[in-house]
């Protein structure tokens, strides 16, 4: 490293320790995706078989993409745009910009859902859950998220929490809060899983979750499992590139990556063991889709002894998971603005907070005022979700795998082995996965997401 480069890196933020990096990255990975989305996808896609396919794809293809992001970030020690430029040359920064834009858009609707979570937490603490009829809870839910103002208020509170943490800096904000909140999250999910697993009648839910029935598996099941695995590891928008860029050279990346992916999978499995046994124990429908958390679970809490307490713990769990992920949607933009534009962290963070809040307003209204305003059958919220999770994230993941697998192969190999100092027996396999397997799988997701493949909705 040249002296100028050394000074540049020293002036950037950096993690205080390997553990801090792992917890911050796990904080990014573990989010609404694990606790809200994964259990309902499992419920909709037949249970155990979906779980197995999900885990298989997570620990082969998706983990390779995650390692690629960390490697690119740390090799360049720059924000995502700068990192792509340093490793790939002129064309690649486009994907850095795409990722930063995706971060804005994802955060704008992620924060709306994060806001609902705050509202439910408040309800559990103040009034408890009274109705055990999902239809009635569903009607209340729709009235509440359809209100023109209150969801905006909660969306604003969620954004303020997120930006507040991000403004503390890499070490003093993101790392400090991850170190505090991730153990709390882990404790909460364990307490809730024990409660759920000891409910009379829980065994039907356990069987549904763990006993695979491959008769039900279709191309669409595999597709859903794969895109969930990518989304859950936070790859495709430069968040993990940025987090990797703050890591010191001493830490060996393959081991740290395995930790992050394992924690992510573990929390998803535990969330499944919280939600599905409880849903079965009280005879509700596990395949009710996105409403499972916000409609079915409150009905479950109304039936359960001390349900308000467990409800409060559950929504606190969901909120912690969402905030630590949201912070990682902010950081790529802050890093970019600070390093490439030269503004202060404070200015970048406040500007992003205000812009994302504004962009979230039509998403929040997509469940009320603007529910009937659709384009090609999608609401504003639907479009934001589609453009990012179905397009920008797979494109970003494709770009990073091609960069590592083809363009910067030698550089990546040197980075992942510490210039040959550490053995990484899977290095060749990883490079081939990045060069060939992952890109093909991702192109499949992209085509299917655009509706270009018949039969794989
Ligand atoms: N991984 C997060 C989740 O599971 C979502 C996320 C995606 C966060 C991309 C950051 C970047 O909810």
> What does the block give as tokens for 159?
């954004």
Kindly give the number of the ligand 1 atom that is closest to the alpha carbon of 235. Answer: 9
Q: How far apart are CA 389 and CA 232, in angstroms?
A: 11
Kindly give the number of the ligand 1 atom that is closest to the alpha carbon of 36. Answer: 12
Q: How far apart are CA 357 and CA 360, in angstroms?
A: 5
Percent of the chain residues past pLDDT 70, beyond the cut: 99
Residue-level pLDDT at 270: 97
98, 100, 231, 235: residue to mutate for ligand 1 pocket, most atoms within 8 A of CB: 231
Kindly give the number of the ligand 1 atom that is closest to the alpha carbon of 322. Answer: 12
35, 325, 332, 390: residue to mutate for ligand 1 pocket, most atoms within 8 A of CB: 325
Kindly give the number of the ligand 1 atom that is closest to the alpha carbon of 239. Answer: 11
Q: How far apart are CA 329 and CA 237, in angstroms?
A: 8
Centroid of ligand 1 to alpha carbon of 28 (angstroms) = 6
Residue-level pLDDT at 457: 45
Q: Give helix 150-167 / helix 345-365 axis angle, nearest 10°.
A: 160
Q: How far apart are CA 335 and CA 374, in angstroms?
A: 35
Centroid of ligand 1 to alpha carbon of 4 (angstroms) = 34
Residue-level pLDDT at 289: 84
pLDDT tens column, 205-263: 999 999 998 887 888 888 889 999 999 999 999 999 999 999 999 999 999 999 999 99
Nearest to 24 by CA among 229, 243, 331, 336: 243
Kindly give the number of the ligand 1 atom that is closest to the alpha carbon of 30. Answer: 4
Rounded to 5°, angle at Cα 82 from 79 and 84: 105
Are the C-beta atoms of residues 84 and 242 closer than 8 Å to each other?
Answer: no
Q: How far apart are CA 152 and CA 159, in angstroms?
A: 10
Rg (CA), the chain: 21
Nearest to 325 by CA among 442, 243, 394: 243
The average confidence (pLDDT) of the chain is 94
Centroid of ligand 1 to alpha carbon of 232 (angstroms) = 5
Are the C-beta atoms of residues 278 and 303 closer than 8 Å to each other?
Answer: no
Question: Nearest C-alpha to atom 10 of ligand 1 is from which residue?
Answer: 234
Centroid of ligand 1 to alpha carbon of 325 (angstroms) = 6
> What does the block give as tokens for 241?
């590139």
CA atoms within 13 A on the CB side of 242: 33
Confidence of residue 5 (pLDDT cuts 50, 70, 90): confident
Using CB distances shorter than 6 Å, the residues near ligand 1 are 28-29, 31-34, 231-232, 234, 237, 239, 325, 328-329
User: Which sign does the torsion angle of CA 74, 78, 80, 82 carry?
Assistant: negative
252 φψ region: left (φ > 0), alpha (ψ -120 to 50), beta (else): beta
Confidence of residue 455 (pLDDT cuts 50, 70, 90): low
Would you say residue 297 has pLDDT above 80? yes
Q: How far apart are CA 257 and CA 255, in angstroms?
A: 5
Residue-level pLDDT at 385: 92
28, 39, 270: residue to mutate for ligand 1 pocket, most atoms within 8 A of CB: 28
423 burial (CB, 10 Å; 0-12 / 13-18 / 19+) is: exposed
Please list, in sequence order, all residues whose beta carbon lies within 8 angstroms of the beta carbon of residue 187, skipping any fewer than 6 positions away: none
pLDDT tens column, 49-65: 999 999 999 999 999 99
pLDDT tens column, 247-290: 999 999 999 999 999 999 999 999 999 999 999 999 999 988 88
Residue-level pLDDT at 57: 95
> What does the block give as tokens for 9?
């890196």
Nearest to 81 by CA among 70, 68, 65, 92: 92
Q: How far apart are CA 240 and CA 234, in angstroms?
A: 7
Rounded to 5°, angle at Cα 69 from 66 and 71: 110
Centroid of ligand 1 to alpha carbon of 355 (angstroms) = 19
């Amino acid at each position: 490293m040249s002296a100028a480069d050394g000074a540049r890196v020293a002036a950037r933020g950096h993690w205080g320790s390997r553990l801090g990096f792992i917890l911050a990255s796990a904080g990014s990975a573990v989010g609404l995706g694990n606790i809200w989305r994964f259990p309902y996808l499992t419920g909709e896609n037949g249970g155990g078989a979906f779980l197995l396919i999900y885990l298989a794809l997570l620990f082969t293809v998706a983990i390779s993409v995650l390692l690629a992001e960390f490697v690119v970030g740390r090799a360049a020690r720059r924000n995502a745009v700068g990192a792509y430029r340093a490793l790939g040359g002129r064309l690649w920064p486009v994907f850095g910009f795409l990722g930063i834009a995706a971060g804005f858009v994802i955060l704008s609707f992620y924060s709306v859902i994060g806001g609902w979570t705050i509202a439910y937490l408040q309800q559990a603490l103040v009034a408890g859950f009274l109705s055990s009829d999902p239809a009635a809870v569903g009607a209340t839910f729709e009235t509440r998220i359809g209100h023109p103002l209150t969801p905006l208020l909660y969306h604003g509170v969620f954004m303020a929490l997120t930006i507040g943490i991000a403004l503390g800096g890499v070490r003093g904000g993101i790392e400090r809060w991850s170190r505090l909140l991730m153990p709390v999250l882990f404790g909460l999910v364990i307490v809730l899983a024990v409660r759920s697993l000891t409910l009379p009648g829980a065994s039907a839910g356990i069987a549904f979750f763990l006993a695979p029935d491959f008769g039900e598996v279709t191309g669409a099941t595999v597709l859903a499992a794969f895109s969930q695995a990518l989304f859950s590891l936070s790859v495709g928008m430069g968040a993990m590139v940025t987090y990797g860029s703050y890591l010191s050279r001493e830490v060996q990346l393959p081991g740290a990556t395995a930790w992050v992916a394992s924690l992510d999978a573990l929390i998803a499995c535990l969330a499944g063991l919280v939600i599905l046994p409880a849903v079965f124990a009280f005879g509700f429908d596990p395949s009710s889709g996105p409403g499972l958390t916000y409609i079915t679970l409150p009905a479950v809490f109304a039936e359960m002894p001390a349900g308000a307490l467990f409800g409060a713990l559950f929504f606190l769990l969901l909120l912690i998971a969402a905030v630590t992920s949201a912070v990682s949607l902010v950081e790529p933009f802050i890093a970019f603005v600070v390093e490439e534009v030269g503004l202060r962290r404070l200015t970048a963070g406040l500007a992003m907070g205000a812009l994302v809040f504004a962009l979230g307003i039509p998403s929040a209204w997509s469940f009320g005022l603007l529910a009937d305003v659709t384009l090609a059958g999608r609401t504003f919220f639907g479009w934001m979700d589609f453009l990012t999770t179905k397009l920008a994230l797979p494109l970003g993941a494709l770009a990073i795998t091609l960069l590592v697998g083809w363009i910067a192969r030698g550089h990546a190999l040197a980075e992942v082995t510490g210039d040959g100092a550490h053995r990484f027996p899977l290095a060749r396999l990883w490079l081939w996965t990045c060069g060939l397997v992952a890109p093909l799988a991702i192109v499949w997701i992209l085509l299917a997401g655009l509706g270009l493949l018949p039969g794989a909705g």
